[in-house]
Every structure is written in C-alpha cells, then in structure tokens.
Amino acid sequence: MASPFSLLNLISVLVLLFLLGYTGESRDPFACDPKNSNTNDLPFCKASLPITERVRDLIGRLTLEEKVGLLVDNAAAVPRLGMKGYEWWSEALHGVSNVGPGTRFGGEFPGATSFPQVITTAASFNASLWEAIGQVVSDEARAMYNGGTGGLTYWSPNVNIFRDPRWGRGQETPGEDPVLAGRYAASYVRGLQGADGNRLKVAACCKHFTAYDLDNWNGVDRFHFNAQVSKQDIEDTFDVPFRMCVKEGKVASVMCSYNQVNGVPTCADPNLLKKTVRAQWGLDGYIVSDCDSVGVFYSSQHYTSTPEEAAADAIKAGLDLDCGPFLGLHTQDAVKKGLLAEAHVNGALANILSVQMRLGMFDGEPSAQPYGNLGPRDVCSPAHQQLALEAATQGIVLLKNDGPSLPLSPKRHQNVAVIGPNSNVTATMIGNYAGIACGYTSPLQGIMRYAQTDYHMGCDKVACIDDKQIGPAIEAARQADATVLIMGLDQSIEAETVDRVGLLLPGHQQDLISKVAAASGGPTILVLMSGGPVDITFAKNDPRVSAILWAGYPGQAGGTAIADILFGSSNPGGKLPMTWYPQEYLRNLAMTNMAMRSSPSYPGRTYRFYKGPVVYPFGHGLTYTHFVHRVASAPKLVSVPVDGHRRTNNTNLGNKAIRVTHARCGKLSITIHVDVKNMGSRDGTHTVLVFSAPPAGGGNWAPQKQLVGFEKVHVPAQAQQQVQIKIHVCKLLSVVDKSGIRRIPMGEHSLHIGDDVKHSISLQAQALGIIKS
C-alpha cells in the first residue's frame, strides 16, 4: 500500500505527464542511435535513402551467423552494427495483449483497453468501428513501445472462417462469411497500421493461412491434421479473407498455420506462400510461422527426414520469420550442406528488415518520430474506454423479444433477480488473447445502476455440474419484478486447444433456466455469453423465457452495455455473424470434413451451403424499433465486357458463366441506394445486409446466397435515411466452379435486402470477341 505522500507524488507525476506530453524517453533507439558514431554514416541508417537501398546495405554487412540469428521471433542483437535484440511476437486481437513475450504490463502501463472479443465486434457489421478500434489499439501499442514495454509487430487479426460451430477459436474470428471476415480484416488492419503512406504505425498480421479451423477434436489435433480441401473451397471460402487482408488492407504480414493442406504443411508450401500470398496477392511484408510450426512439421508430421531439410523447405517456400528457435538452430547447417542458398536467407531477411524500417526502427530516437509523443496518458484514456463500451453495445444481439418484454422499466422493475454463473464475471468478458483490462463492469454491477438486485449464481461455474444452488435462485425469481439469467460459456468450455463436443449448454444450465423461468413473477430475460453458437431451442420455444440476448464476450465494459440494453438506454442493433445450429446438425458430422457444400449424406457448412433447420440464422438480430427498406435506385441490367477468346469445348458451365479473368473487371461495380425508414418510436442503428442469389441452373455447387454488401446507419424515430452500397461485379457476384475457377454467371441475380426487399439485376455479356466458356 503506497503512503499518502508517495501516492500524491505519483498523481503529480501523472498530471505533469498529461500536461507536458509524454516524450517516450525511456525507449532507447533499436538501431542507428544518433549517439553511436560507428553507425551514423552507414547507408542503412540514412532515413533519406529508399528502404530497398538501406536493406541491401545492411544485409551486405551481416555474416551468415548474424543473418540466421534474425530469422526467429527472439531476434538476436548485432552489437557491432548497433542493433539491439527484438521480440517480434506481440498480440493485439482486441486490444494490446500480454499473450506474446513482446509486450508486458506494469509500471506506467498497468493495463490496456480491452475491447469485445472479435466475434462480438463482428456482429456490429460496422467497418468504421473496426477501423476505429484498430486506431485505438495501435495508439496504445505505440505508447507502450515508446515506454519500453511493448513491440511494434502484432500477430493479429485472426481471419479464419468459423466453419464448424464447435471450434474453440471461432470466438477470435469475424464469423463464418468470407466477405465479412475479409472486410473486417482490411478495416482492422488499416486502423492498426495507419495511413501514412509506406510508413507503419504498427505491423499487423493476418493469420492462420490457410484452412485452419480445428484445434483438438476427437483425437485429432492441429499439429497433425491434414486438411483435405478442394480447389473450389480454397478459392471461394478459405482464402478470401486473406486475399482481402493483403490486397485491400495492405497488411504487413501473413502467418502460416500448423496444419497441412492436401498433404503439404502450409509453412512449407511454395504454392501457398510464394505463388499465392506474395506473387498473386502482392504481399509487401513478411511471412511468419505459427509458433514452432516448422518444428512441428519436422518432428510431429515427419514431413522431412532432417531438421536442415525442414529449415530449407520452409525458407524456399517463402517463410521469412520463425516464431520459435527452429530456423535459428538449423538454417546455417542447411546452407553449409547445400540444401539452401544464402541468397534465400537474404530474401527472407529483406522482407523482415523492410518492415522494421517502415516502422521507423532504424530511424534513431523513437521520441523524434511520428507517434513518438504517445505515452501513458494515451492508454486507457476515457475516449478509448468509451469506444470499448460503444463496441460492446453495437455487438450485442437481441435474439428474441416476446411481448415485447424488453426494454425493462426502472420504474416497474425495481427489484431484479440476477442469476447465473456469468452474472458477476469480469475476465470471462474479454475472452482469449486478451491483456489486462483498464477496469471492468460486470453485468451485475451494470444492472445495479438501474435496479435493486438479488444475486444468485445458480451454479458454481459455467460447467454447472450439480443443481444444489438452483433452489435459492428459484425463490429469488419468484419474489422479483424481473429475472435476468446470465449464462453461457467461458474459456474452460471453448478456447485454443479446446473444441466443443456439442452445442448444448453445459451441465445443469438448461434445467436452471427452465425452472427459474417457470417460477419467475415477472419477465425472464436470458443473456448468453459465448463465442460459438449454442443450441437454445428450449429457451427460444419457452414462452416463460420472454427475451434472449447474445453478448458474445463483450469486453471490459460488457456489463454496462448489457444493462443499458436491458433497460433501454441503448437500442440493440447487432446481427449474428454465424449460424446457430441445432445439436442434431452434428450427428455424424466430423470436424475433419472440410467440404463446404452439401451432398445427399452431408449437410454442408454455413448459411451459404447449409439448407437445414437452424436455431437462429446468420444475420439474425432484433431491435426495439422496426425498420423497413425500399430500393430507391438500382440498375436492372448490367453489361459485362468480355475479352475475345477462341471458343473451346469446355462447357463446365456452358456459356452462362464467364471467367473473371476474361472479363474487363476494373471498375465494374453497381451501386444501389436503399431508403431505410424507422417506423418505431425509438431512435435506432440498423445494419442493411445485402445478399445475392445467383441465377437458377448454375449447379448445386453454387451458394444458395452470399453476402455482397452491408452498411450501418443511424435512423431517428419516424425518420428515413438513405444508404449507398457498392457491389463489385467480379469480386462479389462471381461464383467458383469445381475446378477452382471464379466465374460470373450471366442472367438474373436476385439481391435480397434485409428480410423484406428483393431486386433483380440481369448480367449480360458484352462480347468484345468470341466468348470462351
């Protein structure tokens, strides 16, 4: 406990820092220290020169041993050239995290703003919010770097597809739709990396490339899994978010995954790394392995006979940096044995060092650079914490509201029974890959701002292994004006390395909910915390459970956001970024089956291909008001210019689908204007979701519909706003055939705008020669 005198001094220092601005003086230069006369005149230290020249000069001065020491996350110092050691591994999935060794909390930086878990933020369908969160996270990351407690390379976001509802890491992703995941990726990355030309604020990383969405299921783990994936599914599902992240987000790094894809480890596959990520998509940055992936494909997958072969295969495939020691231990011997040319090592180093130079790490004093003024006062600031609350509010989804029962009234519902193992949690709300939050407001604390509460856990933990505490919970509900049950999951049920077995609530949770709802003297509201979907068919169909909210893992301000929605201070507007399946969906469905499309004996994956019953569909979300849509303007006919080609016998899709590579795509976009009217008495924020269904007759391989655009708009009560949605024809109205070729179906495309409006657009080929099918 600090003495009053020392506490007063601490406050004075903080106030002085706030008034004067933080200088970042505790961070010494990583390299090119102006006080080091040995390096001042070396070309790699001259910020005025092009980065390619500086990198070439630096590499030319390094010995092979020094080069190899830079290929690992815990990169070695090169004292003779004035370079300090550097830890590449930091994480910022939804706030600066201390999961990686590159960042630590303490001293002037006791915590950082902890935003909702990504699956929750994705439910906002708000790209400007995602970018704003990235900007805040990078402010705090730069401040911690300036203070000597953080790095500048953050291995986030996770943009894998939430393909199977049991996946423990689905919570880290933006959901099941590839376009949603890709737009999230590009937006968050832009926020993290900044908009200062080629200079980077921090370097982001899209992971885990590719077809990675299984951790540990039924005896199969990610270290041994060989994902058998068709060219079709790779092109139109698994690779889409990564392509958008690189091409639209301009991300500085891509991480390859543990698993194999079609028999080849992703970190040793030149077709994935060199050909696709770097050559086709144009990655300007480095490729890093998931931690110990190179060691895994040598020792666990037995892909190579020797460790030197593994090191050589990885670097020649396009890997630049190893999270782990493997390349540091075996690359030099690989070169000596002739398995790898030193030129390959130089190529990897060029990609790594270029990013460090774009970050300003070779530009001398951090305090004299852009962002050098960021410090402790820029971490956990009131504005940052307010954005965390706003993100939680926008991400919470109202699944059910009979009556309507919500919002509750502080006047009519003065005594509220708050029941459930997640009612008073804090750390649960920030999910995984989190850091230390600035502070928390639990759901119970949030509700206490509106009403008197009678709190009972009902179960010791979310596992809810017995029913011993149900009795007191029932009695509390019987006496209350309203009952709020806060149930669901946590990291003991779903997490990295922990895939779920089923979709039902754990243990006695269902019994607790049903019995409390039956006894409740007022409305019973069910609030669920979870990353993945839960089969709550029983509650959906129970008239005594009058309303259901899904809060995901809502971050440090989750309790305030939940309470504000329960009592009407905020109007919910989130929509589900993943399908909620019934438990029956999993019958005989192996997580290891990577096929997206359905077949007579296989249900298919995600809303794009699964046609069976659901608990709640992708995009579902209610509000306290009512919105209607009207197409104000949209084309009905669009000509697609097509280059001439000799006609062939390839009639895979006949002449009804044109290869994207044969179309003059360029700026071939259509714009639709949609009027959104708020018919209710409350102001509200609404997400316009636009799906496209391709022309009939395209074959059972085509998706039944796919998301092509979304826009968030705030509409006051009884008012109307117009939103504009631009749809790129080649990117968003195309489909992928069985050979993995992207094509644009000609004919009538049906646009579904919300649940109430459809608009048909006819695509017609405008032949500039003979059309090749």
479 and 553, same structural domain?
yes
Residue 377 lies in a domain: no
- Tokens representing 634 are 């949209």
Burial group, residue 357, by CB count within 10 angstroms (0-12, 13-18, 19+): buried
Selecting among 290, 320, 322, 454, the annotated active-site residue is 290
Q: Across all residues in the chain, what is the average pLDDT?
A: 94
Which tens digits make up the pLDDT trace of 394-440? 999 999 999 999 999 999 999 999 999 999 999 999 999 999 999 99
Q: What are phi and psi of 41, to 5 degrees?
A: -100, 5
Q: What is the pLDDT of residue 768?
A: 79
Report the percent of the chain where pLDDT is more than 90. 91
Q: In sequence order, which residues have a C-beta less than 8 Å from that of residue 667 and are 6 or more positions away?
A: none
- Tokens representing 366 are 């951090």
Q: Does pLDDT of 324 surpass 80?
A: yes
636 and 552, same structural domain?
no
Q: Does pLDDT of 523 surpass 70?
A: yes
Q: What are phi and psi of 642, to 5 degrees?
A: -125, 130
Q: Are strands 253-256 and 264-265 parallel, antiparallel or unpaired?
A: unpaired
Residue 554 lies in a domain: yes
Q: What is the pLDDT of residue 347?
A: 98
Mean pLDDT calculated for residue range 66-87:
98
- Tokens representing 15 are 């106030």
Domain, as residue range, for 675: 627-767
Q: What is the pLDDT of residue 368?
A: 83
CB 111 within 8 A of CB 435: yes
Three-state DSSP class for 632? strand
**What total of structural domains would you count in the chain?**
2
Q: Does pLDDT of 8 surpass 50?
A: no
Q: How far apart are CA 21 and CA 372, in angstroms?
A: 10
Q: Does pLDDT of 7 surpass 50?
A: no
Mean pLDDT calculated for residue range 110-124:
98
683 is catalytic: no
Residue 212 lies in a domain: no
Report the percent of the chain where pLDDT is more than 70. 94
Confidence tier at 17 by pLDDT (50, 70, 90): very low
Which tens digits make up the pLDDT trace of 569-607? 999 999 999 999 999 999 999 999 999 999 999 999 999
Which tens digits make up the pLDDT trace of 326-356? 999 999 999 999 999 999 999 999 999 999 9
Q: What is the pLDDT of residue 697?
A: 60
Confidence tier at 698 by pLDDT (50, 70, 90): low
* Cα dist from 402 to 117, 229, 415, 423, 706, whole Å: 28, 43, 21, 22, 30
Residue 436 lies in a domain: yes
Q: What is the pLDDT of residue 385?
A: 98
634 and 509, same structural domain?
no
Q: How far apart are CA 321 and CA 349, in angstroms?
A: 8
Q: What is the pLDDT of residue 696?
A: 81
Check which CATH number belongs to the domain holding 541 and give it: 3.40.50.1700
Q: Does pLDDT of 655 surpass 70?
A: no
Q: Tokens 């290869």, residue?
A: 659
Q: Does pLDDT of 18 surpass 90?
A: no
Confidence tier at 5 by pLDDT (50, 70, 90): very low
Check which CATH number belongs to the domain holding 742 and give it: 2.60.40.10
**Cα-trace Rg, the chain:** 27
Q: Does pLDDT of 10 surpass 50?
A: no
Residue 470 lies in a domain: yes
454 and 534, same structural domain?
yes
Helices (H), 653-705: none
CB 31 within 8 A of CB 79: no
In this prediction the pTM is 0.95
Q: Are strands 720-728 and 669-678 parallel, antiparallel or unpaired?
A: antiparallel
Q: What are phi and psi of 551, to 5 degrees?
A: -105, 0
Residue 598 lies in a domain: no
Report the number of secondary-structure helices (H) and strands (E) in the chain. 20, 27
